[in-house]
């Protein structure tokens, strides 16, 4: 009787999972990550598609795809909100943590998957700087995640191993210890990568070219939410350089993209960088793949208009992995405007690459750079016929 049940079970599994051991392609049903081919992992998306399927785990590197010879502010960077608040992170205080999480894997994994900006909350705690959630600006042992130096060392290792990459840190900063941030950056070995404040454009000019930042090895941008630190420690005050919409539930009101209180109005082009937040006040993992798809795309459109026709440089989300299927079509998918694409603008470029997941919508032009044509062909080869458009529809 037992054997009989086992056989039935095997037949059943065999008929639903047609591939395994790294042989499953994007959107094929899967039962574990190891079923999925390189660059994809096994995931479910309630409201997006049925069961578990292989989805993309990495984004395409724009610096390689276009080239890295445009100003830093002409590219878009996938940004993790509360990058440090990781599901399953063990307690480092000896007290069980009772607070919410925002991301599903380590900062090293985030970076390896293409995340290029991290939002970190920094606090004085136990005589050091810690990454923490808080109530009233104070870190508690039951809300602390880890000493900041550990995370900064992961970033140092990534920058060391990837000499063409640039990382931006956006700090919600509660550190009051004198030189607290400078000391922890020094301790982590990151100071050598720091992009100097003196080179940051203050009046809306373009940033230096990415290639120039790479050549000079100035590949770490740090912004603090504490205004005074620009004078005391030479750390850029975020809203001198960046406009940003509301965060949390206020940032998710359909059709409404307006600046958070600390930021200048989004139309203020004296700040060359644009940050778009799109995540709820209370992170909900199961809802994130819905939030991070069509809803986010719509908001990126709204914020583009609200920011004086500027696309977001930083797109901040919770549970970023749920973003990847949509990442490449995030910026604009209006087919009517296809012919207006300008290759001078990385966002427009991203738009074309991104609409590839929409399959038949775009026509590849022979005038486009060869690497772009190749990338599109590569993307298309991963799309099983008949699943592409319907997935996008349901995913959105
Ligand atoms: C960094 O740390 C080293 C060794 O402790 C010290 O000599 C140096 O002055 C520090 N640099 C800064 C900018 O704090
Ligand atoms: C947009 O949202 C902000 C933040 O919640 C709110 O203050 C503002 O009144 C809203 N604007 C409109 C037009 O609804
Ligand atoms: C990089 O790409 C831009 C946009 O396509 C182009 O204008 C520029 O000439 C390219 N630069 C290099 C060095 O290839
Ligand atoms: C997407 O699916 C449609 C059928 O729904 C098919 O005609 C089209 O060729 C597919 N596109 C790609 C790129 O596979």
In the chain, where the domains are located: 2-57, 62-327
User: 29 near 170, Cβ under 8 Å?
Assistant: no
Binding pocket residue ranges, ligand 1, CB within 6 Å = 182, 186
Does residue 37 register a pLDDT over 50?
yes
pLDDT at res. 158: 98
* CB neighbour burial string for 165-178, b if at least 16 within 10 angstroms, e if fewer: bbbbbbbbbbbeee
User: 144 near 94, Cβ under 8 Å?
Assistant: no
Q: What is the pLDDT of residues 215-259, one digit of tens each?
A: 999 999 999 999 999 999 999 999 999 999 999 999 999 999 999
Q: Which ligand is nearest to the CA of 235?
A: 1
Neighbours of 4 (CB within 10 A): 8
The three-point CA angle 186-263-61 to 5° equals 60
Q: Give the residue with greater pLDDT, 339 vs 145.
A: 145
Separation CA 92–CA 105 (nearest Å): 17
Q: Which ligand is nearest to the CA of 249?
A: 2
Best-predicted range by mean pLDDT (48-57, 89-98, 141-150, 309-318): 141-150
Residues with Cβ within 8 Å of residue 160, at least 6 apart in sequence: none
CA of 359 to the centre of ligand 4 (A): 6
CA of 389 to the centre of ligand 4 (A): 7
Q: What is the pLDDT of residues 169-181, one digit of tens each?
A: 999 999 999 999 9
Best-predicted range by mean pLDDT (27-31, 54-58, 322-326): 27-31
CA of 321 to the centre of ligand 3 (A): 30
> For residue 257, with 0-12 CB atoms within 10 Å meaning exposed, 13-18 middle and 19 or more buried, which class applies?
buried
Residue nearest to atom 11 of ligand 2 (CA): 256
pLDDT at res. 292: 75
Among 251, 258, 262, residue to substitute to test ligand 2 (most atoms within 8 Å of Cβ):
258
Q: Is the pTM of this model over 0.85?
A: no
Residue nearest to atom 6 of ligand 3 (CA): 344
pLDDT at res. 388: 39
CA of 274 to the centre of ligand 3 (A): 22
Residue nearest to atom 4 of ligand 2 (CA): 250
Residue nearest to atom 14 of ligand 2 (CA): 256
CB of 108 shorter than 6 A to ligand 2: no
Greatest pairwise CA separation for the chain in angstroms: 77
Q: Kindly give the number of the ligand 2 atom that is closest to the alpha carbon of 257.
A: 1
CA of 190 to the centre of ligand 1 (A): 12
Q: What is the pLDDT of residues 194-221, one digit of tens each?
A: 999 999 999 999 999 999 999 999 999 9
Separation CA 103–CA 369 (nearest Å): 35
Q: Kindly give the number of the ligand 4 atom that is closest to the alpha carbon of 380.
A: 13
pLDDT at res. 380: 57
Mean pLDDT to the nearest integer, 85-99: 92
Tokens 């995540």 correspond to what residue? Answer: 279
User: 129 near 147, Cβ under 8 Å?
Assistant: yes
Q: Which ligand is nearest to the CA of 185?
A: 1
DSSP structure class, residue 292: I
Q: Which residues pair with 139 in a beta bridge?
A: 134
Angle of the 370-381 helix axis to the 346-354 helix axis, nearest 10:
30
Neighbours of 268 (CB within 10 A): 14
User: 139 near 194, Cβ under 8 Å?
Assistant: no
Whose CA is closest to 327, among 304, 283, 296, 368?
A: 296
Out of 190-194, 249-253, 392-396, least confident range: 392-396
Mean pLDDT to the nearest integer, 46-58: 70
Residue nearest to atom 1 of ligand 1 (CA): 186
Q: Which two tokens stand for residue 193?
A: 């990568």
pLDDT at res. 38: 84
Q: Kindly give the number of the ligand 3 atom that is closest to the alpha carbon of 369.
A: 5
Separation CA 23–CA 29 (nearest Å): 11
Q: Which ligand is nearest to the CA of 349?
A: 3
Tell me the Cα Rg of the chain. Answer: 22
Q: Which residues pair with 273 in a beta bridge?
A: 242
Among 62, 69, 215, 375, residue to substitute to test ligand 3 (most atoms within 8 Å of Cβ):
69
Q: Which two tokens stand for residue 376?
A: 């599109």
Does residue 376 register a pLDDT over 70?
no
Whose CA is closest to 145, among 126, 117, 169?
A: 126
pLDDT at res. 156: 98
Mean pLDDT to the nearest integer, 142-166: 97
Q: What percent of the chain has pLDDT over 70?
A: 72
Q: What is the mean pLDDT of the chain?
A: 79
pLDDT at res. 258: 97
Q: What is the pLDDT of residues 122-137, one digit of tens each?
A: 999 999 999 999 878 8
pLDDT at res. 31: 93
Neighbours of 218 (CB within 10 A): 17
* CATH T-level topology, domain 62-327: TIM Barrel (3.20.20)
pLDDT at res. 322: 66
DSSP structure class, residue 72: G
Among 62, 63, 70, residue to substitute to test ligand 3 (most atoms within 8 Å of Cβ):
70
Q: Kindly give the number of the ligand 3 atom that is closest to the alpha carbon of 67.
A: 1
Mean pLDDT to the nearest integer, 344-354: 41
Residue nearest to atom 8 of ligand 3 (CA): 69
Does residue 149 register a pLDDT over 80?
yes
Mean pLDDT to the nearest integer, 23-40: 86
Angle of the 148-161 helix axis to the 180-188 helix axis, nearest 10:
50
Residues with Cβ within 8 Å of residue 294, at least 6 apart in sequence: 326, 395, 396
């Amino acid at each position: 009787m037992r054997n009989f049940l086992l056989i039935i079970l095997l037949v059943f599994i065999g008929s639903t999972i047609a591939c395994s051991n790294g042989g499953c392609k994007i959107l094929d049903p899967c039962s574990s990550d190891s079923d999925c081919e390189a660059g994809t992992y096994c995931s479910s998306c309630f409201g997006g598609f049925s069961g578990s399927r292989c989805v993309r785990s990495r984004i395409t590197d724009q610096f390689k795809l276009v080239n890295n010879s445009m100003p830093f502010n002409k590219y878009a960077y996938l940004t993790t909100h509360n990058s440090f608040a990781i599901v399953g992170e063990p307690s480092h205080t000896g007290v069980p943590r009772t607070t919410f999480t925002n991301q599903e894997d380590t900062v090293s994994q985030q970076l390896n998957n293409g995340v290029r900006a991290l939002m970190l909350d920094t606090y004085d705690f136990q005589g050091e700087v810690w990454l923490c959630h808080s109530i009233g600006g104070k870190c508690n042992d039951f809300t602390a995640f880890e000493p900041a130096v550990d995370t900064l060392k992961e970033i140092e290792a990534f920058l060391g191993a990837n000499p063409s990459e640039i990382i931006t840190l956006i700090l919600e900063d509660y550190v009051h210890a004198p030189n607290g941030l400078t000391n922890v950056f020094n301790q982590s070995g990151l100071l050598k990568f720091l992009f100097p404040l003196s080179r940051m454009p203050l009046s809306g000019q373009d940033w230096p070219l990415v290639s120039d930042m790479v050549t000079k090895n100035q590949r770490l941008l740090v912004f603090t939410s504490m205004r005074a630190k620009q004078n005391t420690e030479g750390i850029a005050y975020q809203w001198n350089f960046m406009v940003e919409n509301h965060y949390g539930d206020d940032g998710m009101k359909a059709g409404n993209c307006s600046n958070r209180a600390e930021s200048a109005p989004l139309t203020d082009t004296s700040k060359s960088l644009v940050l778009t937040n799109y995540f709820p006040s209370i992170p909900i993992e199961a809802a994130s793949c819905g939030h991070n798809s069509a809803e986010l795309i719509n908001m990126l459109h709204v914020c583009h208009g609200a920011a004086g026709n500027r696309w977001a440089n930083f797109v901040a989300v919770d549970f970023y992995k749920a973003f990847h299927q949509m990442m490449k079509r995030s910026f604009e998918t209006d087919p009517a405007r296809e012919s207006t694409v300008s290759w001078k603008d990385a966002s427009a470029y991203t738009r074309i690459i991104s609409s590839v997941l929409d399959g038949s919508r775009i026509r590849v032009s022979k005038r486009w750079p060869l690497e772009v044509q190749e990338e599109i062909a590569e993307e298309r080869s991963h799309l099983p016929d008949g699943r592409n458009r319907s997935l996008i529809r349901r995913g959105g």
